[in-house]
Amino acid sequence: MNIDINDPRITAFALGELTGSDAAELARAVRSDMNIRQAVEEVRDTAALLHGTIGGGEVHLLTPEQRETIRSAGNDGSAMLMAASSKEVPFWRRPAVAAIGAAAAVALGVFMTQQRGGNATQVADHASSWDWSQVDMKDLTSPVQLDGGGHVRASHAEDASATAVASAMSEDTASFRQELEKRINKEDIKSLPVLPELKEQDWIALDGRENMTVNIPLTSGATSWPLLQRYIGEMSTLPPSSAVRIEEMVNHFNYKFPTMLKGSGLVGDIEICHTPWNPKTLLLAVHLRAVSPVSLGGEAGLTFNARQTQRARILGYSGLVSNAAKSKPRYVSQSHGNYVIYELECGVGNHPDQVIATLQIGQQGDELKVRSGQVKSWGDASVDLRFASTVTAAGMLLSGTTSLGELDSERLFSLLGLLEQGDSALSLGERSRALPLLKRAAELLNQSPQTGD
């Protein structure tokens, strides 16, 4: 049956609102009619935009490329190859774990029998009312064996856990999901990898000689903030300094879209203010993003004027070799971008027109100068810079950064208090959840003070 391109079921299908024979009919059309497939993909694109903006949240959709990869796998039989290539021995089948698991399964079987007084099927029927905190971690995370029809092969008491877990998954039971997430977090902490010691970035001395240009990092990793949440938020302890990456903490959060400078697929903002913990230095922030959703990065550089700047350092990015990525293609995200903070030691009493640093974006020579007259007090800086610099301060203390000036846990408390009082934007999203965590970090630091030079 041909489906008209204006059929509203196309939109319903793309949004996951269609079920049964209508869904099957649309699925057939998507496979056989390029126009229908394109229409479905367009709706998903727009849905992703709407979820990510007015929905205020993450976009829980595959990328168009991923959907095409899935379709291709079905067309050329590579699904079989891909599945075959990933048959390794899972950790839960290792001997030690298996022994523990077997014991746990028996215990669980007894537990469930006591709880429900019935067989496994009855238990599974009531998965939503289970107290999952009583179930062993192994049983929560064991692979569930299914028959070809997606049904659990459970007829014996020892299979009861699998039946219950499968039932919980079939119903997407919230209580099961929450317990699983909580347990995984705990397990993660227990089994963290050995983290390499990080070497902080050195100061670059200019000493009035030659201007210095540095490449600006376009991306950051994403691991530090979740680790901080687990250590500080859940274990109420300070994380090891090697787990703290300032740039990842700063870029866990989103910042205002840059508009000051544009070139080669990038946009950038630059801002400078006094360092609230060091009267001798300034903080210079650069925020870069891609113009399109994900751009192959152009170049972005920052040139320090040697007449104004005695020395400068990037805050964070420990362990990286300077300019290492210069010749490699780099990607920068439009949705997130990268917010980078430098600390500068500058001369006092500069003429307001004197250039402190110049931001260059792209190959066309697009640049933006920041001058002495543009240096703001920290209190007059943008909400973004005040927030990012406070997160940076926390990161410096937690990572054991040197040259802290007057920064200590008391100063961090004070900055957090100022943010809380002054910035209504903090009431939105992740930032509001960051404050209690950073305050707790300051408390823990206060109990176990870090020392700088």
Residue 311 binds other proteins (CB under 8 A)? no
Report yes or no: 280 and 345 within 8 Å, Cβ to Cβ.
Answer: yes
Backbone angles phi, psi at 376, to 5 degrees: -100, 160
Closer residue to other proteins (CB): 76 or 131: 76
Q: Which of 221, 279, 347, 449 binds other proteins (CB under 8 A)?
A: 221
Residue the block writes with tokens 């977090």: 185
Instruction: Show Cβ contacts of residue 19 under 8 Å, excluding neighbours closer than 6 positions.
Output: none
Q: Using the rule CB under 8 A, which residue among 113, 115, 141, 213 binds other proteins?
A: 141
Distance CA 357, CA 213 (A): 9
State which residue, 373 or 429, has the beta carbon closest to other proteins: 429
**Residue count, binding to other proteins (CB under 8 A):** 124
Residues 433-452 interacting with other proteins (rule: CB under 8 A): none
Asked if 97 and 138 count as a contact pair (C-beta separation under 8 A), the reply is yes
CB closer to other proteins out of 90 and 118: 90
Secondary structure (DSSP) of 137-153? HHHHHSPPPB-TTS-B-
Q: Identify whether the C-beta of residue 406 lies closer than 8 Å to the C-beta of residue 277.
A: yes
Q: Which of 123, 152, 302, 344 binds other proteins (CB under 8 A)?
A: 152
Q: Looking only at residues 1 through 30 of this chain, which bind other proteins when binding is defined by CB under 8 A?
A: 6, 8-21, 23-24, 26-28, 30
* Cβ-based burial of 443 (10 A; exposed 0-12, middle 13-18, buried ≥19): middle
Give the one residue of 222, 380, 417, 449 binding other proteins; rule: CB under 8 A. 222
Binds other proteins (CB under 8 A): choice among 160, 243, 407, 415: 243
- Residue appearing with tokens 């995984």: 184
Instruction: Name which of 26 and 396 has its Cβ closer to other proteins.
Output: 26
154-183 residues near other proteins, rule: CB under 8 A: 166, 169-170, 172, 177, 180-181
Stretch of residues binding other proteins (CB under 8 A), selected from 291-299, 355-363, 388-396, 410-418 = 291-299
* Cα three-residue angle 14-17-23, rounded to 5 degrees: 75
The residue from 205, 212, 306, 325 that contacts other proteins (CB under 8 A) is: 325
- Judged by CB under 8 A, the stretch of 269-277, 358-366, 405-413, 424-432 that binds other proteins is 424-432
Please check whether residue 389 is in contact with residue 341, taking contact to mean a CB–CB distance below 8 angstroms.
yes
All residues at 6 or more sequence positions from 255 whose CB lies less than 8 Å from its CB, including other chains:
287, 337, 339, 384, 388
Rounded Cα–Cα distance for residues 303 and 321 (Å): 18
At its nearest, how many Å lie between other proteins and the CB of residue 354?
Answer: 32
- Does position 217 interact with other proteins (CB under 8 A)? The reply is yes
Q: List binders of other proteins among 251-270 (CB under 8 A).
A: 251-254, 256-257
* Distance spanning both ends of the chain, measured CA to CA: 76
DSSP code at position 216: P
Alpha helix (H) ranges present in 323-426? 383-399, 409-422
Q: Minimum distance between the CB of residue 19 and other proteins, rounded to whole angstroms?
A: 7
Interacting residues with other proteins between 26 and 85 (CB under 8 A): 26-28, 30-31, 42-43, 45-47, 49-63, 66-67, 69-71, 73-75, 79-80, 82-83
Q: Check residue 90 for interaction with other proteins (CB under 8 A).
A: yes
Cβ closest to other proteins, residue 18 vs residue 312 = 18
